[in-house]
A and B are shown apart, each in its own frame.
Chain A
Amino acid sequence: MFEPTLTHYLILAAITFCIGVFGVMVRRNAITLFMCVELMLNSVNLTFITFSKYRVDMDGHIFGFFVMAVAAAEAAVGLAIILHLFRHKRSVDVERADALQL
Chain B
Amino acid sequence: MLSNLLITQFSTLALLTPPVAAEYMALVPGAIVSVLALIIILVDSFHRPGTRRDYLAYFSAIGLALAGFSAYVLWDNTLAGPVFNGMLYLDKFGLFFAILACLAGGLAVLQAPSYMRLVRMDRGEYYMLVLFSVAGAIFMANAADMLTLFIALEVMSIPVYCLAGYLRRDGRSAEAALKYFILGAFSAGLMLYGISLIYGVTGTTSLEFIGRNLSIIIHDPDPAGALASGNLITVGMLLIFSGFAFKIAAVPFHIWTPDVYTGSPAPAVGYMSTAVKAGAIAAMLRVLLIAFEDPVLRGGFNGFGWLDVVFFCAAASMVLGNVVAIMQKNVKRMLAYSSIAHAGYLLVGVAASSASPEFFLHHDTVLFYLATYTAGTVGAFGVLSILGKNGRPVETYDDLAGLGLKYPVAGVLMGLFMFSSAGVPPFGGFVGKLYIFSSAVQVGNTTGEFSFIGLALVGVLSSVAGAYYYLKVLVSMYMKKADEKADTEMVMTSSAKVSLFASALLTLALGIFPGFAIEMARESMVDFQGPSATTQKVQEQGRQQLEEMRQKEASSRVVADGVPQG
Q: Which residues of A contact B (CB under 8 A)?
A: 10, 17, 20-21, 24, 30, 33-34, 37, 40-41, 43-44, 47-48, 50-51, 54-55, 57-60, 62-63, 66-67, 70, 73-74, 77-78, 80-82, 84-85, 87-89, 94, 97, 99-102
Q: Could you say which residues of chain A place their CB within 8 Å of the CB of B330?
A: 102
Q: Could you say which residues of chain B place their CB within 8 Å of the CB of A58?
A: 12
Establish whether residues B197 and A47, one from each chain, have CB atoms under 8 Å apart when the complex forms. Answer: yes
Q: Can you name 19 A-B residue pairings with CB atoms under 8 Å?
A: A20-B189, A34-B185, A40-B189, A41-B189, A44-B192, A47-B197, A51-B199, A57-B9, A58-B12, A63-B195, A67-B150, A67-B192, A82-B178, A85-B171, A97-B178, A99-B172, A100-B179, A100-B263, A101-B259
Q: Could you say which residues of chain B place their CB within 8 Å of the CB of A10?
A: 200
Q: Could you say which residues of chain B place their CB within 8 Å of the CB of A47?
A: 193, 196-197, 200
Q: Could you say which residues of chain B place their CB within 8 Å of the CB of A30?
A: 178, 182
Tell me the bound Cα distance from A102 to B196 in angstroms. Answer: 39
CB-based nearest A residue for B8: A57
Q: Could you say which residues of chain A place their CB within 8 Å of the CB of B190?
A: 21, 40
Tell me the bound Cα distance from A55 to B225 in angstroms. Answer: 8
Q: Could you say which residues of chain A place their CB within 8 Å of the CB of B150?
A: 63, 66-67, 70
B 202-231 binary contact with A (CB < 8 Å = 1; else 0): 011100000000000000000001000000
Given A47-B193, A77-B181: A59 and B168 interface contact (C-beta under 8 Å): no
Q: Could you say which residues of chain B place their CB within 8 Å of the CB of A33?
A: 182
Answer whether residue B272 sits at the interface, using C-beta atoms and an 8 A cutoff. no
Closest chain-B Cβ to A76's Cβ sits at a distance in Å of: 9
Question: Total A-B pairs in contact (CB under 8 Å)?
Answer: 136
- Choice from A82, A84, A102 contacting B168 with Cβ under 8 Å: A84
Q: Which of B152-208 contact A (CB under 8 A)?
A: 154, 158, 161-162, 165, 168, 171-172, 174-179, 181-182, 185-186, 188-190, 192-193, 195-197, 199-200, 203-205
Q: Could you say which residues of chain B place their CB within 8 Å of the CB of A54?
A: 200
Q: Which residues of B contact A (CB under 8 A)?
A: 8-9, 12, 146-147, 150-151, 154, 158, 161-162, 165, 168, 171-172, 174-179, 181-182, 185-186, 188-190, 192-193, 195-197, 199-200, 203-205, 225, 258-259, 262-263, 328-330, 333
Tell me the bound Cα distance from A30 to B146 in angstroms. Answer: 29
Closest chain-A Cβ to B107's Cβ sits at a distance in Å of: 25
Establish whether residues B199 and A85, one from each chain, have CB atoms under 8 Å apart when the complex forms. Answer: no
- Choice from A34, A43, A84 contacting B182 with Cβ under 8 Å: A34
Tell me the bound Cα distance from A80 to B263 in angstroms. Answer: 17
Establish whether residues B185 and A74, one from each chain, have CB atoms under 8 Å apart when the complex forms. Answer: yes
Establish whether residues B182 and A41, one from each chain, have CB atoms under 8 Å apart when the complex forms. Answer: no
Establish whether residues A63 and B176, one from each chain, have CB atoms under 8 Å apart when the complex forms. Answer: no
Closest chain-B Cβ to A51's Cβ sits at a distance in Å of: 4
Tell me the bound Cα distance from A84 to B178 in angstroms. Answer: 9
- Choice from A37, A67, A74 contacting B158 with Cβ under 8 Å: A74
Given A55-B203, A100-B259, A100-B262: A85 and B189 interface contact (C-beta under 8 Å): no
Q: Could you say which residues of chain A place their CB within 8 Å of the CB of B186?
A: 21, 24, 37, 40
Q: Could you say which residues of chain A place their CB within 8 Å of the CB of B162?
A: 77, 80-81
Given A37-B182, A81-B177, A102-B329: A59 and B189 interface contact (C-beta under 8 Å): no
Given A66-B151, A101-B259: A44 and B193 interface contact (C-beta under 8 Å): yes
Tell me the bound Cα distance from A51 to B192 in angstroms. Answer: 14
Establish whether residues B165 and A37, one from each chain, have CB atoms under 8 Å apart when the complex forms. Answer: no
Tell me the bound Cα distance from A59 to B162 in angstroms. Answer: 31
Establish whether residues B196 and A99, one from each chain, have CB atoms under 8 Å apart when the complex forms. Answer: no
Tell me the bound Cα distance from A100 to B195 in angstroms. Answer: 34
CB-based nearest B residue for A41: B189
Tell me the bound Cα distance from A1 to B296 in angstroms. Answer: 42
Tell me the bound Cα distance from A5 to B185 in angstroms. Answer: 30
Given A37-B186, A59-B204, A97-B175: A73 and B333 interface contact (C-beta under 8 Å): no
Tell me the bound Cα distance from A56 to B146 in angstroms. Answer: 19
Given A51-B196, A74-B154: A63 and B178 interface contact (C-beta under 8 Å): no
Establish whether residues B9 and A73, one from each chain, have CB atoms under 8 Å apart when the complex forms. Answer: no
Tell me the bound Cα distance from A24 to B161 in angstroms. Answer: 18
Closest chain-A Cβ to B238's Cβ sits at a distance in Å of: 14
Establish whether residues B263 and A81, one from each chain, have CB atoms under 8 Å apart when the complex forms. Answer: no
CB-based nearest B residue for A82: B178
**Of listed A54, A58, A59, residue having the most chain B CB within 10 A:** A59
Establish whether residues A84 and B196, one from each chain, have CB atoms under 8 Å apart when the complex forms. Answer: no
CB-based nearest B residue for A78: B181
Tell me the bound Cα distance from A72 to B177 in angstroms. Answer: 18
Closest chain-B Cβ to A53's Cβ sits at a distance in Å of: 11
Tell me the bound Cα distance from A33 to B199 in angstroms. Answer: 27
Establish whether residues B174 and A85, one from each chain, have CB atoms under 8 Å apart when the complex forms. Answer: yes
Tell me the bound Cα distance from A70 to B188 in angstroms. Answer: 10
Tell me the bound Cα distance from A60 to B201 in angstroms. Answer: 12
Given A40-B186, A44-B189, A88-B171: A81 and B199 interface contact (C-beta under 8 Å): no
